Structure 1
Amino acid sequence: MKPASGTRKPYIGNTRSLVLALDVGTTFSGVSYAILEPGEVPKIHGVTRFPGQEHVAGNSKIPSIMYYDQNGELKAAGAEAESASTAALAEDEGWMKAELFKLRLRPKTMKLKMNGMRLAPLPHGKTAVDVFGDFLSYLFRCTRSFIIDTHANGHALWRAVEHDIQFVLSHPNGWEGAQQSKMRRAAAYGGLIPDTDEGRARIRFVTEGEASLHACVLNGLAADVLQNPSGHGFIVADAGGGTLDISSYAIRGTSPLVIEEIAPPDCVFAGSVFVSRRARAFLGEKLKNSKYGTSDSLDHITKRFDETTKRLFRDSKELQFVPFGSPLDKDLTVGIRGGQLKLTGAEVAALFEPSIESAVLSIKSQIDSSGGAVKSVWLVGGFAASPWLFSQLQERLSRYRVTVSRPDTQTSKAVADGAIGFYCDHHVSARVSKFMYGVEYLREFDPKDEEHNARKHRLFEMPSGPRLLPDAFDCILARGVKVKESNVFSRKYCTEVTNLSTLSVFEVEIWCYRGGDTIPKWIHRSSEVFSTLCYVRADLSPLAGSATAKSGRGGKTYWTIVFSIEIHFGLTEFKARIKWNDNVCHAPSCVLFLS
């Protein structure tokens, strides 16, 4: 089986173009790109030089960190923000450190467990979208410099493509349309695209799970499965700094390669940063009566724990040491000797345990959702390098007859490379809906139904006469449905208006239900399992000319308007639109909709 790059088709565009994949991670970020030459097969490149990291050959990731001054002006970012000189200057000048800012974009339904610690406040005058946009802008500037300096005729190349660059932004599996909208706004704020319809159309999104799948295919990691596509499913587990993104797939064809999602993807806050947060809280308690219990000391020891113990830990029965100081640092009462803090293996294992437990539960849920089709797990991402995470997943998942493997090649930048692979190769032909999507409609009142009588105080009559109840839920797309890219889910509705001028600002709210597979009867607006996914707006005033006036209750004039709601879900972006026509509404086949 050839790697994906061996089966990739030549670029069919008429002019040279450039596609950039910006992977803004919770803790580390990276950029990959491809120069699209007409008639040539695109090749993926990585940005391997960043300011402050020139001495590290081939390093493709930089810390997702920035410093702002007291006026909210960006002063340092990436590797430069981690230098000793920057840290000293930041302390002298009172700069504010921005880190973990990606977590601020999370959906409200995804709760963070920070062990009593909070995200740092935002810089002066900045929103979460602004900060994200500043970092995108920094990555973009670094990429521009790298391409100009690395490629022959780099300046001419950049001038030829700079006004029509295509961008692929990756995000956790749990991010939705609202988060994609924020990322688009951030890209415009950061100057990557103009804030126009044409500019926004240059942004595409891919989930980190799907990007990681493409990276696995690119690197030949899927060779065994591709050579023997017996229908067995596999899971790509992208373990990063903030999230663990779990996606399940099966091979449906090899010439060309066709892959389908076989279970709704999952996303849990179980990344390596939460091991660090638990370590910070644990060390704070352990060292609270020691001179090493100050905030600065704890920050330093936790940083050293991240750099050494967390990365190397592999045995819960062996003593662990955190080297943080000089031979003169000593406090035997808390286990510090010779500049090292002694911890038991069990103490360190406990810091990993919630993340490992979350990962196992999520993967087990995927195995169940796939009907037992999943036989293997590919562990990728920066956190995948942890020997303890890897060995524990192997041990705990073996009871489900699932093998866990970890690629030998460097996959910490799998998402950025895979995002380019997604753009060029597009292997995934079908995805599975994560939640249930629908709209609010008006349900006809049944005086014999106790539930209806309990809602009687909200009863009202339509101009044509029927007595109806609001807040009824009509499902357009159910959870767990396999959706191909060409699929459109559509439902026809009608409504009655007493003033045709309202048609110019017609608006429909699309609801998302996260409560399971059973279609709910009613929308509970205060419940966390319901949320507004988006609003779809349309100008239906052209219908006014063909609408027939009718005489309703009490001689009041009204018009019946027929329209459809269409949902497109086959791509990595959710899209919805109102489709209208001038048909007559033949009740009861149309649902009366509350506009």
Structure 2
Amino acid sequence: MKPASGTRKPYNGTSRSLVLALDVGTTFSGVSYAIMEPGEVPKIHGVTRFPGQEHVAGNSKIPSIMYYDHHGNMKAAGAEADGAAVLAQAEDEGWIKTELFKLRLRPKTMTLKMNGMRLSPLPHGKAAVNVFGDFLSYLFRCTHSFIVDTHANGHSLWRAVEPDIQFVLSHPNGWEGAQQTKMRRAAVIGGLIPDTDEGKARIRFVTEGEASLHACVLNGLAADVLSNPSGHGFLVADAGGGTLDISSYAIRGTTPLVIEEIAPPDCVFAGSVFVSRRARSFFADKLKNSKYGTPDSLDHITKRFDETTKRLFRDSKELQFVPFGSPLDKDLAVGIRGGQLRLTGVEVAALFEPSIEAAIASIRSQIQASSGQVKSVWLVGGFAASPWLFSQLQERLGPLGVSVSRPDSQTSKAVADGAIGFYCDHHVSARVSKFMYGVEFLRTFDAADEEHVARKHRLFELPSGPKLLPDAFDCILARGVKVKESNVFSRKYCTEVTNLSTLSVFEVEIWCYRGGDTVPKWIIRNADNFSTLCYVRADLSPLASSAQPKQGSGGRMYWTIIFSIEIHFGLTEFRARIKWTDNGTVK
């Protein structure tokens, strides 16, 4: 079986184009790109040189950190922000360090357990979306420099493609329409696109789970499953700094390659940064009576734990050491000798345990949701490099008849490469709806129904006479439904208006219900499992000329307006629209 690049079709556009995939991770970020030449098969390149990393050959990731001054101006970012000169200047001038800013964009429904730790403060006068925009802007400038410097005729190449660069932004599986809107806003703030409909159309979104799937296919990891597509499913677990993104798929065809999602994707806050947060809290408790218990010392010891012990830990029966100081650093009472903090293997394993338990629980529920189709797990992402995470998943999933493997190639840049693969190859032809989507409608009052009687104070009468209750939920798309990209879910509605001028600002609220598979009868506003997904607005004033007036109860004039709500769900971005007929023409 050929890897995906061998089956990729030549670019069928008429002019040269550039696609950039910007993967802003919780802890590390990277960029991949493809130059689309008409008639040629696109090749994926990575930005492998960033400012501050010139001494490291082929490093394709930079830390997702920035420094700001008191006025909210960005002073340093990425690898440069980790350099000794910048750290010294930051301390002298009181700059604010901004990290983990991606977690601030999360949906309200996804709660963070920070173990008493706070997200670092935002710089003066900046919201999370502005900070995200600043970082996108920095990645974009780095990419521009890299392409201009490394490609023959780099300057003329950039000038030719600059007005119409296409962007693919990746985000956790749990992000929704509201987060995509914020990311698109950040791209405008960062100067990647103009604030126009044409500009915004140049941004595409892909979930980190789906981007990782494409990366696995690109790396040939899928070859064994592809050569024998017996219909059994596989799961891609993208273990990153902040989130663990879990997606389940099955292969439905090999020439061309067709892959379908077989369970609603999952997203849990169980990434490597939470192991570090638990470690800092543990060190603070362990060293509270030692001179090494100061905030600065704890930050330094945690950083060294991150760089050494956390990455190398593989055996809970062996003693572990965090090398943080000089041979003169010593405090035997807390296990510090020769500049090293001694820990038991059991203590270190406990720091990983909540993340491992969350991963196992999520994978088990995916196996259940896919009716047991999942037989193999592919572990990718920066946290996948942890020998302990890998061995624990193997050990605990083995009894379920599920094998765990991880690609040999550099898994940390899987998302950026996979996002370009998604743009070029588009292997996933069907996805599974994660939640239930619908709209509010008016339910006819039934005096024999206790629920109706309890809501009687909300009752109102339509101009045509019937008494109705508001807040009834009408499901347009149920949870767990397999949706092909071409599928459109549509429902017809009618409304009565007593004033035609209201048609110019006609608006429908699309609701999302997260409470399971049973369709709720009523929308409970402000409840955790109900949220507004989006508003669909349309100017229906042209219908005023063809609408026929009728006389209602009490002699009031009213007009009946008939329209449909359409939901397009099959792409990675949710779309909804209102459809109506005006003088025989569908609008």
With normalisation by structure 1, the TM-score equals 0.98
Q: Deviations over 1:537-570 (max 9, x none)?
A: 0001111111110100100000000000000000
Matched with 1:588 is none
Alignment partners' CA distance in 2, 1:138 and 1:351: 34
Q: How far is 1:582 from its partner?
A: 4.8
Matches within 5 A, 1:101-500: 101-500=101-500
Alignment partners' CA distance in 2, 1:526 and 1:574: 22
Detail structure 1 runs of 4+ shifted over 6 Å in the superposition.
Answer: none
Matches within 5 A, 1:12-23: 12-23=12-23
Q: Which residue identity does 1:255 align to in structure 2?
A: T
Q: Check conservation: 2:546, 2:583, Cα contact below 8 A.
A: no
Q: Which residue identity does 1:266 align to in structure 2?
A: D
Alignment partners' CA distance in 1, 2:582 and 2:450: 38
Q: Which residue identity does 1:550 align to in structure 2?
A: K
Matched with 1:589 is none
Q: CA RMSD in A?
A: 0.8
Matched with 1:593 is none
Q: Report the secondary structure of 1:138's partner residue.
A: helix
Alignment partners' CA distance in 1, 2:201 and 2:122: 29
Matched with 1:81 is 81
Q: Which residue identity does 1:431 align to in structure 2?
A: R
Q: How far is 1:526 from its partner?
A: 2.0
Q: Check conservation: 2:542, 2:582, Cα contact below 8 A.
A: no
Quickly say closer, same or farther: Cα 1:470–1:435, change in 2 above 3 A: same
Q: Deviations over 1:414-439 (max 9, x none)?
A: 00000000000000000000000000
Q: Report the secondary structure of 1:236's partner residue.
A: strand
Alignment partners' CA distance in 2, 1:288 and 1:506: 61
Q: Report the secondary structure of 1:472's partner residue.
A: strand
Alignment partners' CA distance in 2, 1:583 and 1:414: 52
Q: Report the secondary structure of 2:412's partner residue.
A: coil
Alignment partners' CA distance in 2, 1:419 and 1:526: 35
Q: How far is 1:221 from its partner?
A: 0.3
Alignment partners' CA distance in 1, 2:280 and 2:537: 47
Q: Check conservation: 1:101, 1:131, Cα contact below 8 A.
A: yes
Matched with 1:555 is 555
Q: Check conservation: 1:239, 1:245, Cα contact below 8 A.
A: yes
Q: Which residue identity does 1:79 align to in structure 2?
A: A
Q: Does residue 1:26 correspond to 2:26, yes or no?
A: yes
Q: Report the secondary structure of 1:409's partner residue.
A: coil
Q: How far is 1:179 from its partner?
A: 0.2
Alignment partners' CA distance in 2, 1:200 and 1:526: 31
Structure 1 unpaired stretches of 5+: 585-595
Alignment partners' CA distance in 2, 1:231 and 1:83: 50
Alignment partners' CA distance in 1, 2:580 and 2:104: 38
Alignment partners' CA distance in 2, 1:21 and 1:407: 21
Q: Report the secondary structure of 2:10's partner residue.
A: coil
Matched with 1:64 is 64
Alignment partners' CA distance in 1, 2:212 and 2:541: 45
Alignment partners' CA distance in 1, 2:416 and 2:576: 28
Matched with 2:94 is 94
Alignment partners' CA distance in 2, 1:56 and 1:494: 64
Alignment partners' CA distance in 1, 2:328 and 2:109: 48
Q: Report the secondary structure of 1:573's partner residue.
A: coil
Alignment partners' CA distance in 1, 2:549 and 2:503: 14
Alignment partners' CA distance in 1, 2:400 and 2:179: 34
Q: Check conservation: 2:236, 2:248, Cα contact below 8 A.
A: yes
Q: Which residue identity does 1:330 align to in structure 2?
A: K
Q: Does residue 1:570 correspond to 2:564, yes or no?
A: no
Alignment partners' CA distance in 2, 1:365 and 1:564: 35
Q: Report the secondary structure of 1:486's partner residue.
A: coil
Q: Deviations over 1:247-291 (max 9, x none)?
A: 000000000000000000000000000000000111111111110
Q: Check conservation: 2:301, 2:322, Cα contact below 8 A.
A: yes
Q: Which residue identity does 2:157 align to in structure 1?
A: L
Q: How far is 1:583 from its partner?
A: 9.1
Matched with 1:592 is none
Matches within 5 A, 1:570-589: 570-582=570-582
Q: Check conservation: 1:562, 1:583, Cα contact below 8 A.
A: no
Q: Percent identity?
A: 87
Q: How far is 1:313 from its partner?
A: 0.4
Q: Check conservation: 1:177, 1:573, Cα contact below 8 A.
A: yes
Q: Check conservation: 1:507, 1:537, Cα contact below 8 A.
A: yes
Q: Deviations over 1:217-237 (max 9, x none)?
A: 000000100000000000000
Q: Check conservation: 1:173, 1:209, Cα contact below 8 A.
A: yes
Alignment partners' CA distance in 2, 1:340 and 1:437: 54
Q: Does residue 1:542 correspond to 2:542, yes or no?
A: yes
Q: Report the secondary structure of 2:103's partner residue.
A: helix
Q: Check conservation: 1:562, 1:582, Cα contact below 8 A.
A: no
Alignment partners' CA distance in 2, 1:501 and 1:286: 69
Q: How far is 1:408 from its partner?
A: 1.0
- Aligned residue-pair number: 584
Alignment partners' CA distance in 2, 1:231 and 1:4: 19
